[in-house]
Amino acid sequence: MIIACPFCGPRDLSEFTYCGDADNLAARPDPAATDQAAWNAYVYDRTNPAGEHAEIWQHSGGCRKFLRVVRSTVTHEIESAEMVGPKA
């Protein structure tokens, strides 16, 4: 698998670390809230789709930026890889 890092160009999978489901990470509940159901869902529930899946990957062996990668869990084909973070 090759991920095209917007900074470093197309790089091998071995340089990246998987950090989780992008949509899930984006839906982090309000930290001040202690809604157990919402937090439980955030920490443990995953959709596990067969097909397109948005994920956060860190280019840990490269620029260390986090990327939102859309990947097919069936073919491992990568549709897009975009930077997330302050300068996105």
Interacting residue ranges for other proteins, rule: CB under 8 A: 1-2, 17, 19, 25-26, 28-29, 31-36, 39-40, 42-44, 56, 58, 60, 64-66, 75-78, 84-86, 88
Beta carbon of residue 84, minimum distance to Zn ion (angstroms, whole number): 12
Taking alpha carbons only, the member of 65, 73, 87 closest to residue 9 is 65
Where in the chain does DSSP place strands (E)? 2-5, 9-12, 17-21, 52-58, 66-72, 78-83
Residue choice 4, 38, 63, 84 for contact with Zn ion (CB under 5 A): 63
Mode of pairing for the β-strands spanning 78-83 and 66-72:
antiparallel
Report how far residue 40's alpha carbon sits from residue 45's, in angstroms, rounded to the nearest whole number. 7
Question: In the complex, what is the shortest distance from the CB of residue 51 to other proteins, in angstroms, rounded to a whole number?
Answer: 14
Among 1, 2, 7, 18, binds Zn ion (CB under 5 A): 7
H helical segments located in the chain: 22-26, 36-44
Per rule CB under 5 A, is residue 84 in the interface with Zn ion? no
> In angstroms, what is the minimal distance from the CB of 48 to other proteins?
18
